[in-house]
Structure 1
Amino acid sequence: MHGSYGAPECPVRDARQDDLDAHFKSLPHEVVAAGTAAPSPTAPPTPQPAEGAVPSCEPAAEFRRGVPAHVGTRPPTYPPHPLRRPSLRDGDTFAALSPVIRLDGTQIGRLTVRAASVRGDSHNWEGSCRQDAMVVTHIGPPDAEMLLLAVADGVGSARYSHVGSNDISQVAAVHLDREAESIYAALCAQDVSELRVLATKAVAGAAAELRSAWARSAQHTPRPYADEDYATTLHVLLIPTDPHIRDRVLCSVGDGGLFVLRDSHWENGDPDDGEGLLDTRTEALPHAYRSVKATLLRTVPGEVLLLGTDGITNPLTQKDPEFARRLADAWGRPEVPSLSDFLWQAQTRAKSYDDDRTVICVWEEGA
């Protein structure tokens, strides 16, 4: 039995089992040995706890969180649950088989990750698929290992942006892994120019590989291949697993970005090139971008990193600070939330913010 945050509360034997043991001990030996039941009295007595038994920790009523909380005086107009979804008969197998929600996490050393990608209220209402994607993995050899976190937001007007976001986040991770040793060395040297070159090489390689694959796939469809059909943003955060290395690197194309929770407040980072970690330009992969932006960020244990698509970063920066305060309170506590708690918190609703929402948070224990 677990409490609301998943911590075992009663790792002991259920008292009802002790009741049964006491009952069988009271039976004549011949009856127990023969495996026959004792005669049932007309009105069975109420079972009494056996001497020394620990009371059961079962709750009196089932615990339910209910629908996600909302900020503001009124909840959003859309219902807070999935409605229709694409059908296989629509001809888009990927969309029809994509889950409404993805939930993930990991722990390596002092780093703990929680990640959720949720279909937005507007897509729930329309019955279209989730266009966001995310990746949580490790790259590099043991002596240059890094935690790789990625979020991608398919452009809403692009026909196959859900495919683009999913594919680019995964294939870019593979290409970044190929450059892991060089990225690690540049990160340790705080060489932002070299990091930008390496990130651009990896992401451009992934985009080229996918463009070829998508073009081949389009040969079997009546619609010719077009880059803009797969348009998506991409943000990748690389965190060395060595706790002595305090720099992190963010590689970005398009909107969305990274926040740091410091002293109960969400802050944008201050990268070396002075551009800010949030990029609102309309750049997108695989074609409509100039280069991959690479920035360095230094953090200390106890700070929480939040990587997200604009479904989370936009309401986080709205004029009314209630949304930001709620998430700061939920994720700024000493204990890391369970996966289910994190999902429920990440679904906090705000009127007019109905896009897909993908958020990855990283907690780091102190020394």
Structure 2
Amino acid sequence: MSRQGAQGGGQPRDWWAQLYDPRAPDTGRARASDSLDERYRSVSRTLTDASGAEPGPSGAVAPEPAGVLPMTDPGSVAEVVPDTVLEGTRYGRAALRAASVRGEAARRAGELRTDALLVVRFGAGEDGLLLAAVAAGAGSGPGGHRAAREVCHSVGAAVGRSSARLVADLRADRRSELQPGLHRLTDRAFGRLRAKAAALGLEPGRYTADLRCLLLPADPRCRTRVAFGTGEGGLFRLRGGAWQDIGPPATMLWPPERDSVIGRDPAAGAAAARDGFTPAQPPEPARTEPFRFRSCAADPGDVLLLCGPGLAEPLRAALSPAGQPHAEPTLADRLAARWAPPGGELPGPGAYLDELGRGGEGSDGDRTAVTIWES
């Protein structure tokens, strides 16, 4: 609470404490005593600025919430998407902050947030595995928000079923095992989206999403971090005070042909069973979007930022050597100044959300990100 004013001998007087003091005399014209609610409203009106925003506990004026709530069908209340979601935790030697915020364009139009965010933990102790998934469905049509959530849940379930094997591969840094396994897992998740699109009578491109995932083992001795997915998005690393674009490169290394005839090949059936899929699952057509995979070693002090297109685009634009100089700090500059050691620090959930909420220049889409601080 802020202290304002002075009384007798220069001693400061806490206005908010006085507001809730039942012995404090009323200063209004009415003879009847004011209730606590009436006192609060009176002080709020006094300190409110011309825009109508009310002061927070620190005395700072909080902005008025902007935007229009999406229209909801009474039969689809279960599909309501919150404007904002926020996650925060410590895991192994790392700290995590994650948020998904509805973009200004969607707020003005009263539309749903089409980005999806999933942060889940599998396993216990040093055998644990954390999965962070970011999906963006804005480009796939009216059902994009459903497609984004479904692909996150599908990938999450498959990673959970394979978590023990994935942790072993991460500890041994077996990239030759991780890449095809995660590729197969991702293809099957998108196969489910294509099947859902067919059931809805839609073209596959009208019910899909961009996906970015990050695997983080709990074992403090394991510094391997793996990012994978398909479509648009980004992976950035803040090291030495500067941002690096380390987005997973595209690869056309499709899963072995024997995996496309599940149920006929014993090895393919065993792989499918391990990943949680039945051997009778029919073959799926090849994806048009390339699979993306990146494995990297985390150094103490690194900051990893996994994000959807709404943040990846302005960050890449700020890091590009081409273009006009900026009169004000870019989004990348602001985040580096606040997060990079030695002057930077781990933000609280509210401060993290505030930084993402401001977005980047020229971008008014949804903003979704997962940030890892390595200790």
Task: Provide the secondary structure at the position in 1 that maps to 2:139.
Answer: coil
| Structure 2 equivalent of residue 110 of structure 1 | 93
Partner of 1:257: 234
The 5 A counterparts of 1:212-227 are 212=195, 218=200, 224-227=201-204
2:109 counterpart residue number: 126
Report the equivalent of 2:11.
none
The equivalent position to 1:81 in structure 2, one of 66, 70, 78, is: 66
Q: Which amino acid aligns with 1:323?
A: L
Deviations 1:257-277 (A, max 9, x none): 2111112211123xxxxxx53
Check 1:213–1:144 CA distance in 2 against 1; reply closer, same or farther (3 A cut).
farther
Q: TM-score, normalised by structure 2?
A: 0.67
Structure 2 residue 367 is the aligned partner of structure 1 residue 357: yes
Matches of 1:257 and 1:349 in 2, distance apart?
15
Alignment partners' CA distance in 2, 1:141 and 1:211? 34
Whole-angstrom CA distance in 1 between matches of 2:109 and 2:57: 39
After TM superposition, give the deviation of residue 248 of structure 1 in Å: 0.6
Please list the CA deviations of residues 233-266 of structure 1 after superposition, one character each: whole Å capped at 9, or x if unmatched: 1111001111211111111201112111112211
Return closer, same or farther for 1:244/1:61 CA change in 2, 3 Å cut-off.
Answer: closer
Show the counterpart of 2:348: 338
The match for 2:130 is 147
SS at structure 2 position matched to 1:184 = helix
Structure-2 residue corresponding to 1:63: 60
| TM-score scaled by length of structure 1 | 0.69
| Contact 1:255–1:278 (CA under 8 A) maintained in structure 2 | no
Q: Which has the higher contact order (CA 8 A, sep 6+)?
A: 1
Q: CA deviation at 1:129?
A: 0.8
Contact 2:126–2:218 at 8 Å: present in 1 too? no
CA distance in 1, matches of 2:251, 2:310: 13
| 2:228/2:248 contact within 8 Å kept | no
SS in 2 for 1:267: strand
Structure 2 residue runs without a partner (length 5+): 3-15, 24-55, 253-284, 319-325
Are the counterparts in 2 of residues 253 and 293 from structure 1 also a CA contact under 8 Å?
Answer: yes
Whole-Å Cα distance in 2 between the matches of residues 364 and 355 of structure 1?
29
Partner of 1:167: 150
C-alpha distance 290-130 of structure 1, shift in aligned 2 (>3 A)? closer
Q: Secondary structure at the match of 1:156?
A: helix
Deviations 1:268-323, CA, capped at 9 Å, x for gaps: 23xxxxxx536699xxxx97445532221111121111110111111112244622
Q: Deviations over 1:83-125 (max 9, x none)?
A: 2413216x76566x11111111222243221111111111112
- Number of matched residues? 292
Q: Distance in 2 between matches of 1:157 and 1:213?
A: 13
Consecutive unaligned residues in structure 1, runs of 5 or more: 3-13, 22-58, 68-79, 219-223, 270-275
- Secondary structure, in 3 states, of the residue corresponding to 1:318? helix
Q: Which residue number corresponds to residue 183 of structure 1?
A: 166
Instruction: Give me the whole-angstrom Cα distance separating, in 2, the residues matched to 1:188 and 1:307.
Output: 21
- CA 1:137/1:364 → structure 2, altered by over 3 Å: closer, same or farther? same
Q: Which amino acid aligns with 2:317?
A: Q
> How far 1:141 moved relative to its partner?
5.0
Deviation, 1:324, is 0.8
- 1:239 match: 216
Aligned residues of 1:155 and 1:231 also touching (Cα < 8 A): no
- In the alignment, the residues of structure 1 paired with residue 160 and residue 153 of structure 2 have an alpha-carbon distance, to the nearest angstrom, of 11
Instruction: Give the Å deviation of 1:334.
Output: 4.6
